[in-house]
Amino acid sequence: MAGMKLRIVFGTLMIAALVALLWWDHWLEASGRPLTGAPTAALAAVLLMAGALEYARLAAETELKPMPLVTTVCAVGVGLSPFWARTIDGGGLTSTEWLALALLAAFGLACLSQMARRRAERALARLAATVLGVVYVGGFGAFVLGIRMRFGVPALVVFLGAVKLTDIGAYFVGSAVGRHKLIRWLSPGKSWEGLAGGLAIGVLGAMGLNWLCQAALGVGWAALFGLIVGAAGQFGDLCESLLKRSARQKDAAALVPEFGGVLDILDSPLVAAPVAYALLAVLG
């Protein structure tokens, strides 16, 4: 019971802080202030840095030994590419081209860092682990920030709400009535009942936030968006569970009481973001 109270308290505080920052970001843009998206980009930089460090720690618990500094610097640089593309008006490049070039630069920097060690032993493993961290944290993170930069704060709120409400719904419904395990060996706490309940709550949340934030999706499209993005988020949660299982860790870190680390909070939005970005682009 004490753990549940802590979870609710810290969850409420994080939501309140995020709402305040996004409201400020939206107000700055509506006021015509320069550096559109700067508050969200600043928060993204902090979260990406923490997430990359947690990933490096997890990977170091396996036979892989990534380069923590390169992983962190490159993940932040790649993740912020939509902000730089918007801030300097693209420089003749699209946001997608900026992201691709940032990923290629990260690979080059990782190779240079390994060469500076003057050894080839386990170079492939170190490079693979490093680049995986950059893609997982920075590449996927770029799509989260990309939603804000291209589609605005309301769309970002609908996206984050759909994903996290699915998470919350799956947790509480699964705890109450979950009987049939989703993938017992990977995430024994997840159930099919929890997944169904979480998706239903995510759909309702997407519809409600779409109306509240005037995000310009029709009711039916908002429901479909919530369903698909919520399902993608649950897959993202399982992906992080796979990484943690490989490293024999329960949580990515112990930064937030009852939540674990930053990656334990971002696992769902990270993987769901490219799906949400594509849907928003198709829906206009």
What is the structure's pLDDT at 145? Answer: 97
Which of 238, 213, 93, 69 is closest to 151 using CA atoms?
A: 213
Segment 75-93 shows an average pLDDT of 85
> Which DSSP string do the residues of 54-83 spell out, in sequence order?
HHHHHHHTSS----HHHHHHHHHHHHTHHH
Half-sphere exposure of 115 (CA within 13 A, CB side): 6
φ/ψ of residue 165, rounded to 5: -65, -35
What is the structure's pLDDT at 148? Answer: 97
Residue identified by tokens 């380069």 is: 67
Read off the pLDDT of residues 18-28 as tens digits, 9 standing for 90 and up. Answer: 999 999 999 99
Q: How is residue 84 written in tokens?
A: 């730089």
What is the structure's pLDDT at 112? Answer: 94
The alpha carbon of 189 is separated from its chain's Cα centroid by a whole number of angstroms, namely 21
> Which DSSP string do the residues of 239-269 spell out, in sequence order?
HHHHHHHHTT-SSS-SSBTTTBSHHHHHHHH
Read off the pLDDT of residues 194-242 as tens digits, 9 standing for 90 and up. Answer: 999 999 999 999 999 999 998 888 899 999 999 999 999 999 999 999 9
Segment 269-278 shows an average pLDDT of 97
d(C-alpha 137, C-alpha 51), whole Å = 7
d(C-alpha 104, C-alpha 98), whole Å = 10
Percent residues over pLDDT 70 in the chain = 98
Q: Is residue 109 predicted with pLDDT exceeding 80?
A: yes
Q: What is the dihedral of CA 66, 274, 254, 126, to 10 degrees?
A: 0
Read off the pLDDT of residues 122-163 as tens digits, 9 standing for 90 and up. Answer: 889 999 999 999 999 999 999 999 999 999 999 999 999 999
What is the structure's pLDDT at 121? Answer: 83
Q: Could you tell me which residues come within 8 angstroms of residue 19 by beta carbon, excluding any fewer than 6 positions away?
A: none
Which of 200, 99, 219, 208 is closest to 158 using CA atoms?
A: 208
Q: Tell me the pLDDT band of 3, cut-offs 50, 70 and 90.
A: low
Which of 65, 195, 178 is closest to 130 using CA atoms?
A: 65
φ/ψ of residue 256, rounded to 5: -115, 120
**65-69, 100-104, 120-124: which range is least confident on average?**
120-124
**48-52, 69-73, 179-183, 232-236: which range is least confident on average?**
179-183
